Structure 1
């Protein structure tokens, strides 16, 4: 799965600039927290949730500013 994911990432960089794709990597935070919750029953702490939210908002701001 990791190899397929990396291959798809390479293809994405072939078709779009890195500045457009970079904010999308922040979705890994959501997947990691969801996987931790569903697979391990791990509830993120408040500081983890706030930190993830700050990083996601920053990524969205970068994405929106790159389109302007």
Structure 2
């Protein structure tokens, strides 16, 4: 499951700010996914992990209506 801290950084558009502005929500073939880069072992390993989170259909529909 997604970590609480990851939810704070999810965005559906590319921002033009100093934080990098990386989009995290993607829609393809009727699937909605969050892509996060959070990894609690990053400070030790220095390796970023890309983590895909797919939404169930009920949540997917709500998110699409919202954005």
TM-score, length-scaled by structure 1: 0.23
Q: Which has the larger radius of gyration?
A: 1
Q: Which has the higher contact order (CA 8 A, sep 6+)?
A: 1
Q: Whose strand fraction is larger, Structure 1's or Structure 2's?
A: 2
Q: Whose helix fraction is larger, Structure 1's or Structure 2's?
A: 1
